[in-house]
Amino acid sequence: MSRRSRLHVPGGVYYVVQRSNARQPIFTEEADYATFERLLSTMLVRCRVRAHAYCWETDAIHLVLQISDMPVGRLMQRLSSQYARRVHRRAGELGHLFQQRYHALLIDPDVYLLRLIQHVHMLPVRSGKVADPGDYVSSSHLAYAGTANTPWLTTNVALRMLAQRPEQARYAYRRLMFETPPAGEGASFEHGGTDDPRVLGDREFMAAIPRNMRVYRSTYSLDQVIDTVTCTLGLERSEVLSRSRQRRLALARALITWYATERGVATLAEVARRLQRDPSTLFVAVERYRTLRPELFNLTALQDSGPLLRQLPSQASQQG
């Protein structure tokens, strides 16, 4: 039986774990770390990908990536194969250095980015390698703490979620590292086995795919969808397009995403750009609110006088 393809969400934030084959060491010399990071930094620029966090273990690499157009699988395949060729060439060996199947978890960054970064940075502590994350140099913890500089790492997104001023953000980050995560959260990140709809493993994520991934195009515009949803919910358009995270606005954005993609008005990536949100955040919000407010996620639920139903004369004549 062939393996099920992974779903590619442009702009999505993924927790990616690539383990070695048969638990063999990935890094055997100090120069190996520099080689891998040089390849990674080049790949990030070429593929327009952000790395928010990392941790290099003996037999596994952990990355928090925000991807763009290139699927995460293609990125990891290129990265792991190029690194393996260099290691084998130096050692005069053959065979697979990495397992062929990697672990990828799509998260809602608004909810889980900070917790995921904490999880990644605490991996060496939980495995007993060090007593303090600051003693482990092969992770992005020191960059977040402000004691190391990693040019290819994106730290400003997470730090700004903690505080606007850099010194306050660093202090808030250090406090975060001492917080006890919710029970079972680590297992959810590592295995995708969770009932929380904001964290989706491969199986749960694929099972949750709605019909809104259709590729046909509609004669309606995205602006019409936005106007109709805001009118239906009694909201101001400017509020929905703002950066506010109020729950009522999250519902409106989820509804806009669902209507626009269900009707083929726009793709998930296009809606995300218009609403200035991460595609993964919108996708997870759709799944959450379809359960909480199913009466709204119905193509007949829009007001008959809504902008979406006011067709231009040319559109009406074409459809007639």
Percent of the chain with pLDDT over 70: 75
* Residue span of the structural domain in which 231 resides: 211-312
- What are φ and ψ of residue 104, in 5° steps? -135, 130
Does 131 lie in the same domain as 74?
yes
Residue 277: left (phi > 0), alpha (psi -120 to 50), or beta? beta
Whether 4 is in a domain gets the answer no
The token pair that represents 25 in the structure block: 């060491």
Report the C-alpha gap between 35 and 17 in whole angstroms.
19
Burial class (CB in 10 A: 0-12, 13-18, 19+), 99: middle
Query: 108: pLDDT confidence band, cut at 50, 70 and 90?
Result: confident
Lowest mean pLDDT among 86-95, 102-111, 229-238, 268-277: 86-95
Cα gap 273→286, rounded to integer Å: 16
Q: Which residues pair with 199 in a beta bridge?
A: 107
CB atoms within 10 A of CB 202: 17
Local confidence band at 44 (pLDDT 50, 70, 90 cut-offs): very high
Q: What is the DSSP letter of 201?
A: -
Same domain for 44 and 113?
A: yes
CATH number, domain of 254, equals: 1.10.1750.10
Predicted confidence band of residue 62 (pLDDT cuts 50, 70, 90):
very high
Q: Is residue 112 one of the residues assigned to a domain? A: yes
Residue 227 maps to a domain = yes
Residue 299 is given by DSSP the state: T
Percent of the chain with pLDDT over 90: 33
Count structural domains, the chain: 2
If phi over 0 gives left and psi between -120 and 50 gives alpha, with beta otherwise, what is residue 182? beta
Judge whether residue 114 has pLDDT over 70.
yes
pTM over 0.75: no
In a domain, residue 3? The reply is no
pLDDT in tens, 161-194: 998 888 899 999 999 998 877 655 665 576 554 4
Distance CA 269, CA 259 (A): 14
d(CA 171, CA 178): 11
Q: Report which of residues 251 and 11 the model is more confident about.
A: 251
Which residue has better confidence, 159 or 190? 159
CATH number of the domain at 60, please: 3.30.70.1290
- Do 89 and 164 have their domain in common? yes
| Residue 254 placed within a domain | yes
- The predicted pLDDT at position 294 comes to 86
Domain boundary pick from 136, 166, 201 = 201
Give the confidence band of 103 by pLDDT, cuts at 50, 70, 90: confident
